[in-house]
Each structure stands twice: as structure tokens, then as C-alpha cells.
Amino acid sequence: MLVRELRPRPHSWSEYKQNYTPMALPFRALERSLEWSAYYLSRWALLEVLEYLSILSVLFAVIFYFAESGDRRKQKHYQAWQVINTAQGKGGSGGRIEALQELNLDHVPLVGVNAEGAFLQGVQLEGANLLRANLEAADLRDSGLEASDLENSNLRAANFRQANLRRAKLEGADLSDADLVNADLRGADLSGASLENADLRNTNLAGIAWKNIRSIAKANIHAARNAPAGFEAWALQHHAASVASEE
């Protein structure tokens, strides 16, 4: 920001030239003319008005920036949804990892999102609202889905290896043929979920809600960790298996 300063009136030429040699006088004369220019300009009200206007323009720019922040956020969300919807039915990420994470960070519900067959390895969607999402055959290895809501979602044949599903809401979800090897399901609610033919080897099952699981037939529970009391016996009784190999 410019700071205007009222300059003192320059000395008279007779006083001025007494302090300089004749050789230096031409250069000092130029400097003196500039001093007089600065003197008169410092008293020119127009310059003061222009300075105030420049300050006001910065102020208005800041006000408009914050006033339009809502529109910018809406535009960002629209573009993220466009990326997700355009990539439906296609393999690969297609920018969906970043788009889903941005929407979730802004607390936008991802209800019914369709990312079937998508490559979403490592996606971080903690606490996301993924109610009735379609993630069939999606690659979600190493993903972060802690406390996410996946109720009634289609998770058939999805790859959740090493995924964090702690405290996830999986009520009514279809996890048939899902790969949950080494996944963390601590505290997850599996009420009404189908785990038919799912691979639960080395999965951490501490504190899961399991008594109302809809189906666990042909699921592999070999070396499942921290299973609640009675779970393993119940699972085997309902046609689950405990086999070391993937076969």
C-alpha cells in the first residue's frame, strides 16, 4: 500500500547551489526539479483519492472472494460428480479416488454412488455416507473406510484386502465373494449382511455384530482373528469353511 507524505518545500536555488561545486550543479538542477515535482504532487488531492480507491478495490475483492465461496464449492462438487458419473462402467480410477475424497471431506453424502469395477486402491473415505452404493468388483485394497455407512450396498466380489473397515455399518450389505483377507472389521455391524463365499482369512473380527448375518455359506474363516465367542462354531454350522489355501 502506498503511503503519501507531505514533502517540505524545497530550498531556494540560491541556497541550494551554495552547497555544490559548479561541476555538480547540472545534476543537482535535475534533482531539484524532481524535488519540486514531488512537492507539488504530494499536495495533489487526486493522488490521495486514487490511493483510497486502490485500498477500497482490495477490500471489495476480499469481500467478493468470500461471498462467492459457496458458488466455488458448488462448482467443485459438480465437477467431482461429473468425474464419477463419466467414469461409470470403466476400469481404472479415472480420477474417482480424488473426486470421492474431495466430496467426503466436504461432508457431501455419497448415497447410491456407482463405482462398479473401479480401481480405488488406497481411497480414504472415513465416515463416508455410502448408503446403497454399488462397489461390486471394485478394488478397495488398503482403503480407509472406518465408520463409513455401507448399509444395503452392493459389495459383491469387491477386494477389501488390508482395508480399514472398523466400525463400518454393513447392515444388509452384499459381501458375497468379497476378498476380506487381512481386513480390519473391528466393531463392524454385519447384521443382515451376506458373506457367502467371502474370504475372511486373517480378518480381524473383534467386536463385530454377527448374530444376524444373513448368510455365511462357503465363506473361508481360516485364521480369522479375535472372533467373538461362538462365532466360529456358528459359522461352521452354517456351512462356512476353514481352509488355509484360497481353494
Q: Count CB neighbours of 149 within 10 A.
A: 22
> What SS3 class is residue 215?
strand
Answer yes or no: do 40 and 116 share one domain.
no
Answer yes or no: do 85 and 47 share one domain.
no
Answer yes or no: do 85 and 51 share one domain.
no
Task: Answer whether residue 126 is part of any domain.
Answer: yes
Answer yes or no: do 100 and 136 share one domain.
yes
Contact residues for 120 (Cβ-Cβ < 8 A; gap 6+): 93, 96, 97, 100, 135, 138, 139, 140, 143
Q: Which residues does the chain have with pLDDT short of 50?
A: 1
Answer yes or no: do 111 and 29 share one domain.
no
Q: What is the per-residue pLDDT for 54? A: 77
Answer yes or no: do 57 and 159 share one domain.
no
CA distance 58 to 75: 24
Answer yes or no: do 33 and 117 share one domain.
no
Q: Rounded to the nearest 5 degrees, what angle is found at the Cα of 10, between the Cα atoms of 5 and 11?
A: 150
Answer yes or no: do 208 and 129 share one domain.
yes
C-beta separation of 134 from 155 below 8 A: no
Task: Answer whether residue 3 is part of any domain.
Answer: no
Task: Answer whether residue 190 is part of any domain.
Answer: yes
| Residue 144: alpha-carbon gap to chain centroid | 13
Q: What is the per-residue pLDDT for 17? A: 54
C-beta separation of 96 from 115 below 8 A: yes
Has this prediction a pTM greater than 0.95? no
Answer yes or no: do 146 and 111 share one domain.
yes
Residue 168 lies in domain: 72-247
Task: Answer whether residue 4 is part of any domain.
Answer: no
Answer yes or no: do 129 and 31 share one domain.
no
Residue length of the chain? 247
Task: Answer whether residue 6 is part of any domain.
Answer: no
Residue-by-residue DSSP string for 20-79: S-TTTHHHHHHHHHHHHHHHHHHT-HHHHHHHHHHHHHHHHHHHHHHHTHHHHHHHHHHH
Task: Answer whether residue 42 is part of any domain.
Answer: yes
Task: Answer whether residue 115 is part of any domain.
Answer: yes
Q: How many domains does the chain have?
A: 2
Answer yes or no: do 29 and 142 share one domain.
no
Cell of 217: 455359506
Answer yes or no: do 101 and 202 share one domain.
yes
CA distance 73 to 163: 30
pLDDT tens digit sequence for 38-49: 666 666 666 666
Cell of 197: 463365499
